[in-house]
Structure 1
Amino acid sequence: MKKRSIRTRIFFALLTPVLFTCVEKPAYAATTQTAGSSTVTYHVDPAYQVTIPVDTSMQLNETEVPYGKIVVDQVQIEDGKCIQVSLLADFNLKNSNNSKAIIPYQILAGDEAGSHPFTSAQYTKAGEETPLTIAIKKEDWKKAVAGQYSDTVTFTISYVDKSE
């Protein structure tokens, strides 16, 4: 019998705070609400996808060859911002066996009617593109010695303030 009364006391001792909590606030008590406002915020990070040209090659004595296009596939940017694509290169094809042998070249932007040397461009909308062409003058081909030539072209894609 003692065991049962000890258990009962422990049970009631544990239950007492729950009963007091429930009894403190009668079920019929009125609650008041005040009008107010809250702010819901969400931040969308800038996102964009840009496709740039990959490796290409030219045949001997070709003066121009398509290099591909810079294409802006997706854009989610803030007002006043843009995606800037810049190009960095030596603009000299170097002979792998003769460091003094070079063939100067240009990377041109635009079509044949209005092409110009490409260094950078800014984009703000999906679908914008810049066709690129590699150009080598006939005179420079005539000076070329035999061998394998190459150069590295580095494209940098940046999220920047839009220039006017």
Structure 2
Amino acid sequence: MKKGLTGLLLVSLMATLTVPVQAAEQTTLIHANVGSSYTLTIPKETTIDVNALTTPLNGTIKVTGNILSTENVVVSAVTQPLHNDDQNADLPYTLKNGNQAFTSVNFNQNDLKSTKEVQLQIAINQEDWNQAPAGSYNGSIVFNAELQ
């Protein structure tokens, strides 16, 4: 009987000493960041006919990609003169967007989605054509795009 009572006492003591087990829930945070990116497309090589007062560039400026609604892609251009190496002469011209001299154009998030295009043109005054020495003239336009 002593053994039975000891066993019963031991079982009841163990029941009161049980430690509750619980699973601790924890969370791992994950993050992703899709950075702004864009592609600038510029016009191809363009040949200007003699005495042409305006010549559209062979293609348009367009920007495609994915930017934030608070950002703009600003496209600007630096023109290099039409130069005649044989005669060491320049033929002045103006890069234009419509009737205005081109300085820059902004593309926002909606413009990138709608594939906005800007057609630029070369404008040369008739007086400059009249004074241009004979020969071949070559120049360039350097386009720059900046995310702002």
Interval containing the TM-score (normalised by the shorter chain): 0.7 to 0.9
Normalised by the size of structure 1, how large is the TM-score? 0.69
Map 1:102-141 to 2 at 5 A.
102-110=90-98, 115-124=99-108, 125-126=111-112, 127-141=115-129
Q: Please say if residues 77 and 142 of structure 2, whose CA atoms lie closer than 8 Å, have aligned partners that are also in contact.
A: yes
For residues 63-119 of structure 1, give each alpha carbon's deviation from its aligned partner in whole angstroms, at most 9, with x where no partner exists: 1111031012x22112321111110113x31112122x2211011113xxxx21112
Q: Which of 84, 97, 113 is 1:95 aligned to?
A: 84
Q: Which runs of 5+ in 1 are unaligned?
A: 1-28
Closer/same/farther in 2, CA of residues 32 and 139 from structure 1, 3 Å limit: same
Task: Please state how far the C-alpha of 1:39 moved relative to its aligned partner.
Answer: 2.1
Task: Please state how far the C-alpha of 1:48 moved relative to its aligned partner.
Answer: 1.1
Cα distance between partner residues in 2 of 1:30 and 1:76 = 53
Cα distance between partner residues in 2 of 1:61 and 1:131 = 21
Q: Please say if residues 79 and 95 of structure 2, whose CA atoms lie closer than 8 Å, have aligned partners that are also in contact.
A: no
Code of the aligned partner of 2:70: G
Map 1:145-164 to 2 at 5 A.
145-160=133-148
Superposition misfits of 4+ residues, deviation over 3 angstroms:
34-38
Task: Please state how far the C-alpha of 1:35 moved relative to its aligned partner.
Answer: 4.2
Aligned-residue CA RMSD (Å)? 1.9
Task: Please state how far the C-alpha of 1:37 moved relative to its aligned partner.
Answer: 3.7
Closer/same/farther in 2, CA of residues 120 and 33 from structure 1, 3 Å limit: same
In the alignment, what sits opposite 2:61? 70
Q: Which of 33, 39, 54 is 1:43 aligned to?
A: 33
Cα distance between partner residues in 2 of 1:86 and 1:119 = 6
In the alignment, what sits opposite 2:43? 53
Closer/same/farther in 2, CA of residues 142 and 37 from structure 1, 3 Å limit: same
Identity of aligned residues (%): 29
